[in-house]
Amino acid sequence: MEQEVFEWKDDYNIGVEKIDSAHKELFSLVNRIINNFMDKNFDKNKITCVEAIKYLKSYTIKHFAEEEEYQLSINYSGYKTHKKIHDNMRCVVIPALEKEVAIKSYSKESLEHFAGACAGWLAAHVLIEDQAITGKTKSKWKLDADANNEDTLDDIVREYIRGLFRMNANLVSKHYAGHKLGKLFCYNDIVSDSKGTVYSVVTAIEESMLEAVASRLINSAVYELDAVILSMISEMFRSFNMEVMLAYLRDSLAGVESKVIPNDEFYKIYDGVYPECSMLWRTEYGYMAFCISRK
């Protein structure tokens, strides 16, 4: 009998049989993937991954439609936000995961990320957002931006990654919920606009991407961050955060505070209400998260 590593528990039920049944199937699928990793059976995982992508595609068409129909039937107040998150999973996350595993020929690294992304999405969405439908939890998302504003910010961030870091970036998720990435370098800016509205802006990149950025900056391989390189990198990320916000808000900005923050402080951002903007990007050198919170 297959071990339940990523185990479904009865208290995850929202009380709607059709929805709970679909969630159990998804848990079972992710559990199979994680078990295959524990068994070091990567060939089997490739087959499971292919099946998982096919299932997720059909799942997002059928189950999301059923879930959204149920939300409308009970006049769920969070319907519009919930539908945005569904659309993100269907139109951004799944295509990005499928593209990554295909480009990397179902490598161990890409399959690990696939399993982690699926488990992370389940934990953040099914166990929190879906439970909010029937009042068992409270939604952590507060999405104020309309679709056009979100698309504008996507384009701005992509262009600044390309321009400042000289890297191509693919959007992995428009609503990244703080699932664990590799070891990160996290830079936080607190800025205010001309109306006095204060924003917290964080860019967090995996160390592999940081090494590539630093190496390009000084035109030499970097394996350790000394004080000089850290200062250079920090200034680059401060510029990135400020330039993105200037282009997005189209307003003057004043900096209040800028600092490097530890990984645990970055993940604490997702403990309460999620940031109004929270993206996950993939470059050829690693992953990058970018989030904006209004304070």
Reduced to 3 states (helix: H, G, I; strand: E, B; else coil), residue 255 is strand
Q: Which residues of 111-131 are buried (b: 16+ CB within 10 A; e: fewer)?
A: bebbbbbbbbbbebbbbbbbb
Query: Consecutive 10-residue runs of the chain (295 residues): their mean pLDDT?
Result: 63 87 83 70 73 78 89 91 84 84 81 73 76 84 62 88 87 91 94 92 93 71 62 83 87 85 96 90 94 91
User: How do residues 53-86 score in pLDDT, each as one tens digit?
Assistant: 787 788 778 888 999 999 999 999 889 888 888 8
- Residue 164: its H or E element: helix 147-165
8 A C-beta contact, residue 150 and residue 255: no
Instruction: Name the nearest CA neighbour of 241 among 225, 259, 215, 228.
Output: 259
* Euclidean distance between CA atoms 178 and 159, whole angstroms: 23
- Residue 20: its H or E element: helix 17-38
178: left (phi over 0), alpha (psi -120 to 50) or beta: left
Pairing state between β 169-173 and 253-261 = unpaired
